[in-house]
Structure 1
């Protein structure tokens, strides 16, 4: 009798342990499957979305150029006997995420429409222009950021750029050519920490009219930044300040402290006349870019066009991740697992395949939203 009880107890224990390990194995398989789905979404799904964005942006930029040509053909509004109000600045400075330039790099077989801003949503559409730097073609240091591995990876191969390679930019002011500047070791790029922000400064002693391309390094991480500097060939275009009704108030942060790029609206609701100038925006602390520059300040002070000082504390949430997306990421992750658990419980008490079929559609919808927010929260 005791022998039978002992045998039954041992069998029950073995079955319990076997059941536990089976559940653990099933959970690990599920986690592996979700991880694989997320990798597929990041490497291919985001690229398809960016391609759709780019198609629309290309059309938007073409329409923008046509609008400028129409305005140029019209008589300008005379404000006084000696003053004419230009309209070009209204077309040059675009809202966050709107098309503002066409970028072509023949050496990389790259042609992308550049949007205004470097927020998460902006960089999902394509390369983004730092709105507190001059526009491409204008005097000064114009900076553009882009992804290297996801969302079309526009800057995936900028490490392959060689000194002398051309970078072509078209804005509504015209077409401009930049040439990649040689860095240490004969390379066309250099690597810096994410805290090294002086590459966004203005009024450089060497190559004062430049284009700075910025992305994350190494690929698949945001541990460092890869920088390509190119000098403008020929004379710069006139500098147009942004309209006063769209003042830029930068609040970019790194890590847990910060916020995101914000735009403050002029309470007066008026826009002053825009007068072109050949001078770049003032810069409080200019310092030349060097190959593999040593670590220094973690902030960069940008003088903007309205006479205000803008403190830059990061390369933007588009490259470093959006902390506001963490909460919805957690919430949708919980929703995904609740759908899975509910589907399995229903399948065990009902017929399996009908339960799986019914649970499939809410599962796919929840996973899509989860991945969208998860990718938004993660660094580029």
Structure 2
């Protein structure tokens, strides 16, 4: 009976990893969807200039012109002066849009100052049906809820190499089909500061700096070792690197897909952008210590608060998260796993004893509910303890 129970529980655990973890991933993605919608401003708004458009006011003045000369004037008629309206234009200097400044500051902060586990983007690769949210960090907890950004790599849409990790087998397998990506396929990533578009590179070109270290090259991917951290390094271009365990159900190797950023990096992620905004919105000071103000119509230039010039200083973590961090389990799950394993054993023993006294059918009917409840918690804690693929 022991072997039967062990085999039965083993099969259930495999099914739990393949499908049960997908339930948690689905719930996490639903929660992240609401959070992303709440923190992501209008993409059209963040792409607009900081300044309101230059305002031109057209006014009209009345002037009296002399009568139009005529060759023949009828004595009985009176010729009156002709009045005309002469337009004149007054151009007001451009003014700062305070709403735009506030939106920009908030959007940049959500990218550059995100805490681990915060939702930072949404990745879509139409060719493989990928549409998932991205969180900050590629630790075990992070990847059990979403795709994660290796902390210390570039920001999405910024200069350098932004690296993302995801599971191929468990937790909904968000990167289950990245091996099907081909050169030229587009990958779109929505972020609080805009949408970054990447194009998958030929793996031969993408891995030319890794000569001698790539184990295998496929249509749009490369296979490297589990400790080949060079795939996370900045190689001088603006790229996106997707990583996952390989082969499926194993962490023996890593599959890597590289894509090139189309267009220029986001200007809002450039530290100079923050400095320029601070200079614009911080009033200059006169010799007497008072703030200098321009003679602009107050109704067109609402009060704009001063902005710290350092608000957009990019302070990436000093240490880059390694490929291994995306695989590690959670050591703090050892004790709960042991507790629920013992509880499962107790329930199994009780069912076995009840089957001898009341019959197997009755014992299984009344014992199945507590058995599966305890087993569910045991699987949940054990899965968190073990590496996820």
TM-score (norm 1): 0.68
Residue of structure 1 equivalent to 2:329: 321
Give per-residue Cα distances to partners, 1:181-233, cap 9 Å, x unaligned.
1123563111111111121122x13xx11111010000011111111111101
Residue of structure 1 equivalent to 2:225: 193
Deviation at 1:377, TM superposition (A): 2.1
CA distance in 2 between partners of 1:274 and 1:133 (Å): 21
Residue 75 in structure 1 maps to residue 50 in structure 2: no
* Paired residues of 2:139 and 2:328 also in contact (CA < 8 A): no
Residue 215 in structure 1 maps to residue 263 in structure 2: no
1:189/1:333 Cα in 2 relative to 1: closer, same or farther (>3 Å)?
same
1:240/1:374 Cα in 2 relative to 1: closer, same or farther (>3 Å)?
farther
* Paired residues of 2:109 and 2:312 also in contact (CA < 8 A): no
Deviation at 1:373, TM superposition (A): 1.7
Deviation at 1:88, TM superposition (A): 2.8
* Paired residues of 1:89 and 1:240 also in contact (CA < 8 A): no
Which segments of 5 or more consecutive residues in structure 2 lack a partner in the other structure? 51-96, 205-216, 272-306
Residue 310 in structure 1 maps to residue 330 in structure 2: no
Give per-residue Cα distances to partners, 1:68-121, cap 9 Å, x unaligned.
88899972699xxxxx99333332243333321010001101111112221222
Residue 378 in structure 1 maps to residue 386 in structure 2: yes
CA distance in 1 between partners of 2:320 and 2:32 (Å): 30
Match of 2:164 among 144, 154, 160: 144
Match of 1:96 among 116, 119, 124: 116
CA distance in 2 between partners of 1:321 and 1:359 (Å): 31
1:327/1:224 Cα in 2 relative to 1: closer, same or farther (>3 Å)?
farther
CA distance in 2 between partners of 1:311 and 1:137 (Å): 18
Q: How many residues align?
A: 291
Q: CA RMSD in A?
A: 3.1
Question: 1:1-380 alignment to 2 at 5 Å?
Answer: 26-66=1-41, 75=98, 86-92=105-111, 93-184=113-204, 187-202=219-234, 204-205=235-236, 208-238=237-267, 239=269, 274-276=310-312, 305=315, 309-310=318-319, 312=321, 314-350=322-358, 353-379=361-387, 380=389
Deviation at 1:45, TM superposition (A): 1.6
Deviation at 1:168, TM superposition (A): 0.7
CA distance in 2 between partners of 1:172 and 1:214 (Å): 23
CA distance in 2 between partners of 1:60 and 1:164 (Å): 31
Q: Which has the larger radius of gyration?
A: 2
Deviation at 1:122, TM superposition (A): 1.6
CA distance in 2 between partners of 1:186 and 1:43 (Å): 26
Which segments of 5 or more consecutive residues in structure 1 lack a partner in the other structure? 1-25, 79-83, 242-270, 282-304
